Chains A and B, each alone.
Chain A
């Protein structure tokens, strides 16, 4: 059964079909929230909140709409609501660097780990909207038309936003790497 058919069934009263949709999509939702919040517990709560909202607003689902895009729209709103409530308290998805520049050994593996840490830090410093499009396009592998539907904009706009976000991420990353090298 396709997602859209399952959601139509939920909308029409077959509430149990929501379990099918949960089983299919809770992981991608969890990863989406984990990238945005950096907090596993908060991410799990947000996943539960999304499926709660799907139940609450199930009558607003339109048959012709992609379920996945609709679900991420709800997820995005849930995240923004939570971020609004906890403004200043939302942790950036940045793990502590495991090594200092002085401790870094010159072998390839360590260098890669360090660069991964720098990239993580660079990603954490991106504005929310830019990090979000990278998460959607790179980690969730959403198609541009799905992202456009979630963000309520044109596909061309998504194309530009993903490129600019990736460009800015690269600028941050190479700047951090340059500082390390210089240090």
Chain B
């Protein structure tokens, strides 16, 4: 075996994790190769020195604070999960929608659960910080606040997803509202909103989802999905909302779809006119609108 192959096994050898047969081959090689012996000696100095750099063990109070923070969040999730499961048993669902697992159950009483979860988080994070940092009471609070905002944002994502798959249109509308309020785009929420635009039975939910998707419009995949959706919508109101959004986004890739819509005799008159107007706004050649 050549030196390079032997040297690649030296870290495992130093860690004592090399199997017996492989170890014997390495030892046999080392007996006859001074270069690899020198390499082993140097790596050994580094390997043993690293032991002193091992991170210190957590202190008991740090352990407790970390565990308490975790336990509070888990309790919030469990409360939502159990209530959602009970609600699911009481009210079987008849409409098949994309599943987000327990997230759906979480939203059974979304406002209450969201409030409770955020409340627990506030108590957990701020309380935990206070306990964990005696003597640092005067430290700036901004990192805590930033962290708390991040965790609230994560909960908002969860609640949004769960609401978007509820049976009640008002709950789904509430989910879209949460999505609109999210500061950080999330791919799962994005997919749920696109699904709502194309498949939600309620036109108001679809319209709201179109508005909420503005935040995701930087994603070319979302833009394509919006363009595709214009042609398949059965609601003129949603079609007009989508056309307006494409104009707002200055999406010139939508030319083909808009032209087809403007020429489609079966499309709603208002939709055809809006498509024609959109092409004008986007600086595209004007179609001759059928009278």
- Mark A residues whose CB is within 8 Å of B: 13, 15-16, 18-19, 22-23, 26-27, 30-31, 34-35, 41, 44-45, 47-48, 51-52, 55-56, 58-59, 112, 115-116, 119-120, 123, 134, 137-139, 141, 143-144, 159-160, 162-163, 166-167, 169-170, 173-174
Contacts and interface: CB of A to CB of B under 8 A. Distances in A.
B102 A30 contact: no
Contact of A173 (B11, B49, B73, B78): B49
Contacts of A163: 7-11
Interface core residue of A35, A48, A58, A173 (most chain B CB under 10 Å): A48
Q: What secondary structure prevails in chain B residues at the interface with A?
A: helix
Given A22-B67, A144-B12, A160-B8, A34 B55 contact: yes
Nearest to A162: B11
Q: What secondary structure prevails in chain A residues at the interface with B?
A: helix
Given A116-B49, A139-B50, A170-B43, A51 B70 contact: yes
Nearest to B65: A44
Nearest to A82: B150
B54 interface: yes
B101 interface: yes
B12 A159 contact: yes
A162 B13 CA distance: 12
Contacts of A141: 15
B102 A13 contact: yes
Given A22-B70, A170-B46, A159 B158 contact: no
B77 A137 contact: no
A15 B12 contact: no
Contacts of A41: 143
B13 to A, nearest CB: 10
B34 interface: no
A15 B74 CA distance: 8
